[in-house]
Each structure stands twice: as C-alpha cells, then as structure tokens.
Amino acid sequence: MPEAFAPLKNDLLIRAAKGEETARAPVWVMRQAGRYLPEFRAVRANHEFFEICRTPELASEITLQPIRRYKGLLDAAIIFSDILVVPQAMGMDVQMTPGPYFPEPLNVPADVEKLKKVVDVNVELGYMFEAITKVRKELNGEVPLIGFCGAPWTLFSYMIEGGGTKTFQKCKTWLFKYPEESKALLTRIADVCVDLLVGQIKAGAQLVQVFDSWAGELSPHDFAIFSLPSLKRISAGVRSRLASENIPAVPMTLFAKGANQSLAAQAVAGYDVLGLDWCIDAVEARRIVGDKVALQGNLDPNVLYGGREAIEREVKRMAESFKMGGSAKGWIANLGHGITPGVDPEDLRFFFECVHKYSAKAV
Ligand SMILES: Cc1c2[nH]c(c1CCC(=O)O)Cc1[nH]c(c(CCC(=O)O)c1C)Cc1[nH]c(c(CCC(=O)O)c1C)Cc1[nH]c(c(C)c1CCC(=O)O)C2
C-alpha cells in the first residue's frame, strides 16, 4: 500500500483531470524544473544529469524549486527524472552530452538480444520511487505530484536512432522492414512502462503522464499500428495492476505531441486527460473528443519570448477557447510542449498570473 501522506490542500489538478468544473484552471508546465531556472543551473553545474536523477536528495530538491519560487501560483509538481531511464533499466547505456546519446543503439532486431530479459524496476529504478516518496513528504499536501514515463514509440526511436533525429530514418526502417520485431520490442518497452508507473503510484505519484513526443512523426495509420496499441497496453496494464493490488486509481494523461490527426483514437485509449500541442485549437479538440476526456495545454512555448503583452493576449485567447463561453471544466492549463532554457522566470510567473486571471469563472 502507498504510505499515508498529508491530505491534499490543492486538488484543482485532480478534479480537472476527472473532467470536473473548477473555479479556475490548474496550471503547471512541462520541464518546469529545468535550465531556465538559475537555481537549477546552480545544482546542475556540480552534477551530471543522470546523477541528479539517481540521487533522491538532488531530484527532490530540483522538483521543489519551481514550487517554492511560484508558491501559490503553480498547481502541481512533476518528479525530476527523464523518459530515458527506461532504456537504461532495459540494459542500454544512455548519456546526456548535452542531448541524449546511446553509444550502442539497436541497429538490427538481433540486437534486442542485448537487452535484459527480465527488468526489475525496483532494482533498476528504485531511486525514482525513493525520490517520489521524498517529494510527497516534503510537499506536505501543498500540490499534487505527477509521475511520468515515455511512450514506447518515442523510447523505441531513441533506442534505435541512438539519440535525437530529424529524419527518423533508422527507427522507421525498423517499422517498415521488421514490423513484427518492432511490435514485439514496443510491447516489451510497454511492459516496463507499466511496472514503472505502478511503482511510481505506489511511491506516491498522484497523476501519471505518458510522453509520446514523437507521435506526430507517424501517419495516422502507423500511429494506430505502432503507437496506440502500446499506449493502450500501458493504460490498461496500470489500471488492472492497481485494481488487483487494491491501490486506488490515479488519473492518467497521454501527451501524444503532434498527433492531432489521431485525437479521436486517443480519446478512447484509456486515458483521463489528453495533452494538446499548440497546433490545434481547444474548440476543435473538444469537438473531436467530446466529453470523454479532460484536456491539457496548449500555449506555444515561444509565446513566453513575446513579452508581457503577447503573453496576456495569448493566454486570454487560450482561456476563451478552452472555456468555450463557460467556465473552466476539464481543463489543465499548460504549454503545448516543454519550457525552453532562454525563458525569463519572471515571464513564466506572469504566464501563471494570467492563467489564474483569465481561466477564472467570472472572466
Ligand atoms: C523527449 C523527452 C526527453 N525527456 C523527456 C521527454 C518528453 C518530453 C518532451 O518531448 O520534451 C521528459 C522529461 N525530461 C525532463 C523531465 C522532468 C520533469 C519536468 O520538469 O517536466 C521530463 C518529464 C528533464 C530534463 N531532461 C533533459 C533536461 C535538460 C538537460 C540538462 O540539464 O542539461 C531536463 C531538465 C534532457 C533531455 N531529455 C530528453 C532530451 C531530448 C533532452 C535534451 C534536450 C533538452 O535539453 O531539452 C529526452
């Protein structure tokens, strides 16, 4: 059973995730503990990226940095870690140099033999669970804590490309040349993701998000064949495991970036919330998904470089779009992707203030 933690004082995120009406939209941003914060850069100056992930004291400190700085403005914490801890747990070497780098990527299906046959997440990723429990204690119920993992398709692409890519040539070679082997690997990754998310929830995560950052690189047809089945395997697997162990369910969010052409399919993939990027308007997204799911997003992160006037104007427009003439209901305000390193932290504060103002009922 999860440990007993302090009761939640701010449950806006959880209520919005369940599709409920809230006095204003809860707000957090992807990568909120990151390089745009001087206090993050100060810790990072003395520690390697994955060293921070593996050290609960450091991961917890960094997770809490934006919560302290934006006290009363930020409605969720997200555990500091990375999606690439899953390939590490499966036996691959991953470095951050400064982007992700795999010295030995999977070149051909036979390379899958090099992966661990059995992955015990408690052994490989226990440090993440420890960090989550530590953050929950330190948050003392102030705001909920989000856990996460990468989606199998996005992780598959890193494991085969050996890092970031613009062309997706190697991983798509796998999809089209070795479709069955690809599906088998995607399933294998999904099973580790289920164990990881269940472990995070047991450790104290109150909502979990699956990041499919490269979903938009697939045609709708290939998304349905190569990404969606493993995303469904994760939502179904997490829910049934929690039920069988008598652990209360937590809301689950799917952020399939760029896959707006597949929103209708995402809405029935077993998630409570869909994350949106900025390439679709909320009114259109809501029309497609109906009342099946809550929505999260979706300001273009580069609006934060546009100055206060632009930030206010664009947040107001976003809020009107999500509220659709009514009040905030089933809407979690966020950027449409992660915040970038050059943003002035005070401009982010202003973004939060604008969300509070324009998502409120009377505005
Ligand atoms: C694709 C992906 C990765 N990691 C992640 C994704 C999915 C979301 C997305 O699409 O952005 C997810 C992620 N990465 C990080 C978090 C922490 C939680 C949060 O604050 O959101 C989360 C949720 C920290 C991080 N992960 C990384 C940093 C910066 C690294 C540093 O400190 O040098 C942070 C704060 C490194 C990372 N990690 C990854 C890349 C491509 C990079 C390098 C590019 C970059 O620097 O932005 C893989």
Quote the ipTM score.
0.94
The half-sphere exposure of 260 on its side-chain side, counting CA atoms within 13 A, is: 17
In contact, 166 and 228? CB cutoff 8 Å: no
What are the phi and psi torsion angles at 134 (to 5°)? -65, -45
Residue 200: Cβ-neighbour burial (10 angstroms; 0-12, 13-18, 19+): buried
**Is 156 a residue whose pLDDT tops 60?**
yes
Instruction: Indicate if 15 belongs to the active site.
Output: no
Name the token pair of 361. Answer: 């009922």
Which of 82, 196, 208, 334 is the pocket-test mutation for ligand 1 (most atoms within 8 Å of CB)? 82
Identity of the amino acid at 352: F
Residue with tokens 């390193």, as numbered in its chain: 341
DSSP-based three-state secondary structure for 74: coil
CA of 48 to the centre of ligand 1 (A): 14
**What residues are in contact with ligand 1 under a 6 Å CB criterion?**
30-35, 44, 49, 78, 80-84, 96, 98-100, 148, 164, 211, 213, 338
The protein residue whose alpha carbon is closest to atom 20 in ligand 1 is 31
CA of 220 to the centre of ligand 1 (A): 26
Picking from 22, 24, 44, the residue whose alpha carbon sits closest to that of residue 34 is: 44
Instruction: Indicate if 82 belongs to the active site.
Output: yes
pTM of the model: 0.97
What are the phi and psi torsion angles at 322 (to 5°)? -70, -35
Which of 83, 278, 339 is the pocket-test mutation for ligand 1 (most atoms within 8 Å of CB)? 83
Instruction: Give residue-wise pLDDT tens across range 211-260.
Output: 999 999 999 999 999 999 999 999 999 999 999 999 999 999 999 999 99
Alpha carbon distance 26, 123 (integer Å): 35
**Is 362 a residue whose pLDDT tops 80?**
no
The protein residue whose alpha carbon is closest to atom 1 in ligand 1 is 213
What are the phi and psi torsion angles at 286 (to 5°)? -65, -35
The residue annotated as part of the active site, out of 24, 31, 188, 286, is 31
Alpha carbon distance 147, 34 (integer Å): 16
Instruction: Give residue-wise pLDDT tens across range 20-54.
Output: 999 999 999 999 999 999 999 999 999 999 999 99
Kindly give the pairing relationship between strand 145-150 and strand 207-212: parallel
Instruction: Indicate if 313 belongs to the active site.
Output: no
Q: What domains are defined for the chain?
A: 12-281 (3.20.20.210)
Alpha carbon distance 8, 70 (integer Å): 18
Q: How many CB atoms lie within 10 A of CB 289?
A: 19
DSSP-based three-state secondary structure for 139: helix
